[in-house]
Amino acid sequence: MKRSLVLLAVVLCVLLSFSGFGKTKLIFAVHWSDYQVEGVKDENGNVVVKGLKQYIEEYQKLNPNVEIEIQSVPFDEYLKRILISHTSGVIADIYVLYSLWGVQLVDSGILDEVPKDVVSKVKSDFVKAAVDGATIDKAIWGVPVEVANYALVYNKKLLQEAGFNEPPKTWDELVAMAPKLTKRNPDGTVAQYGFAFLSGWDSAVVHPYLALLYSNGGKPFKDDFTECLLTSKEAIEALEAELKLFKNGATDPAASVWNFPTGKVAMMIMAPWYETALKLGFKDEYEATVGVAPIPYLKKPATVGYTWFIAVDSASKNKKAAWDFIRWMTLQDAGGFTRMGELMAKNIGSIPPNKKDIAFFKEELNDLYTSAFVKELENTYQEPNIAQGQEIKTILMREIIEAWNGRKTAEQALNDAKKQIDKILEEFYK
């Protein structure tokens, strides 16, 4: 009888292993585009540059008892989805998180404490800007996967056609050049923008403005975050500098950075991760068309940086398995580099924050696109990790757009932003 039971148990275990039952399943939530997840494919559908999916498949072959499901969430829904999931109880195990959300997620108890060995590796192996981005209240809450900033991206062909041999160095030069790069259809609609922002995307609105603010010698908050400083002379001048592009016809609120790959935008301020999309858009004309330079400055060179880090949900039932995968993906040596570093450098086009990866992927990081961003790290001001950072960013975006549309002056828009933001800061920092 006992022998029969043992035999039955063995058979059940074998059946379960073949059927997939008993596996540890991890949900991995990301905001990345299709090609960043699926890989870059040629005309025949063959993967020529690995995406996240191929790394997941590699890990699952090495660890057949682990199944990882990728959940792609649109960026503008990502934070809301994380917060709501904790109310519904349906969570992801692993997230790639925007550093600006860190304070809110830590205060809400959503992030798992990082294992000590992982913290040690982050402190020793990653660039300071990225470590700062993953740090909230002096504690590291994840492994940085991307450190990014902004630069001026321009269409070399369009500039040359208009008689310009080089991009603008100062903001005044940009304001003078952009209208000459703007073309209109017979009915008055814009056929080609000299410059484009993007009204519907908070980063495309706020980050270029903050770059100008820092360039003008200002800053958005007091160092202790007790007060917003957006009504300072420097802050108002920075927004007025942007409004010159709207007033002289170089751009309007309908312009979009996403139209740059179609040749309908001459200049924009963009981040390093857009490189692959530009290569796919311009194809064989990419190198002859795309140029990158520092953001034209007001008083001194300046740009804005931010970090993304990978973290584990505190409510995950498979924390050990989640951290094991993170170690393999972001910390383990894969031949002089990490797998996450390879994904960032070769597919996503971002600057990998691991010092080892920066040293290894010299060819990718010193190309005509990314090299400018790497160089501008020396002029980068990190976006501060602040309580309710996303809400504050949204408030500032809305008020800047009010000014873009001419419904408010720069001073009125920033004064209204300050009133709303100071109420939030008073709740958390006073």
Q: Taking the C-alpha atoms of 95, 98, 99 and 100 in order, what is their torsion angle to the nearest 10 degrees?
A: -130
Can you list the alpha helix ranges (DSSP code H) found in 27-170?
Answer: 34-38, 52-62, 75-88, 102-107, 116-125, 128-133, 156-161
Q: Are 213 and 234 in contact (CB under 8 A)?
A: yes
Taking Cα atoms as reference points, which of 263, 265, 99 lies closest to residue 193? 265
Taking Cα atoms as reference points, which of 75, 140, 72, 88 lies closest to residue 112? 140
The answer on pLDDT for 397 being more than 80 is yes
pLDDT at residue 15, as a whole number: 40
The answer on pLDDT for 404 being more than 50 is yes
**Could you read off the pLDDT of 203-257 as tens digits, one per residue?**
999 999 999 999 999 999 999 999 999 999 999 999 999 999 999 999 999 999 9
pLDDT at residue 6, as a whole number: 42
User: What DSSP designation does 265 have?
Assistant: B
pLDDT at residue 179, as a whole number: 97
The answer on pLDDT for 357 being more than 60 is yes
The SS3 assignment for 374 reads helix
Domain at 23-147+306-379, CATH homologous superfamily: Periplasmic binding protein-like II (3.40.190.10)
d(CA 194, CA 296): 14
pLDDT band at 21; cut points 50, 70, 90: low
pLDDT at residue 376, as a whole number: 93
Burial, 19: exposed, middle or buried (Cβ in 10 Å; 0-12, 13-18, 19+)?
A: exposed
> Comparing 83-87, 298-302, 359-363, 397-401, which segment has the lowest mean pLDDT?
83-87
What average pLDDT does range 110-124 have in this prediction? 97
d(CA 80, CA 83): 5
What average pLDDT does range 16-24 have in this prediction? 58
Specify which residues 268 forms β-bridges with: 153, 196
Distance of CA 415 to CAs 58, 326, 420, Å? 53, 44, 9
d(CA 135, CA 169): 34
The answer on pLDDT for 5 being more than 70 is no
H or E element in which residue 343 lies = none
pLDDT at residue 44, as a whole number: 87
What is the rounded radius of gyration, in angstroms, for the C-alpha atoms of the chain?
24
What average pLDDT does range 178-203 have in this prediction? 94
35 HSE (CA, 13 A, CB side): 22
d(CA 57, CA 62): 9
Q: What share of the chain is helix, strand, coil (3-state, %, to 5)?
A: 50, 20, 30
Distance of CA 252 to CAs 173, 235, 255, 290, 304, Å? 19, 21, 6, 22, 23
d(CA 388, CA 141): 17
What pTM was computed for the model?
0.83
| Amino acid letter, residue 230 | L
- Give the number of other Cβ atoms within 10 Å of residue 53's Cβ: 15
**Could you read off the pLDDT of 303-350 as tens digits, one per residue?**
999 999 999 999 999 999 999 999 999 999 999 999 999 999 999 888
**Percentage of the residues of the chain whose pLDDT score is greater than 90:** 83
Q: Are 323 and 347 in contact (CB under 8 A)?
A: no
Q: Tokens 């910390």: give the residue.
A: 331
pLDDT at residue 210, as a whole number: 97
What average pLDDT does range 73-95 have in this prediction? 90
Topology match between the domains 23-147+306-379 and 151-270+386-429: yes
pLDDT at residue 422, as a whole number: 98
Q: Are 313 and 92 in contact (CB under 8 A)?
A: yes
What average pLDDT does range 378-406 have in this prediction? 94
Residue 2 vs residue 230, higher pLDDT = 230
Q: Domain coordinates of the chain in residue numbers?
A: 23-147+306-379, 151-270+386-429
Architecture of the CATH domain 151-270+386-429: 3-Layer(aba) Sandwich (3.40)
Q: Are 381 and 304 in contact (CB under 8 A)?
A: yes
pLDDT at residue 87, as a whole number: 78
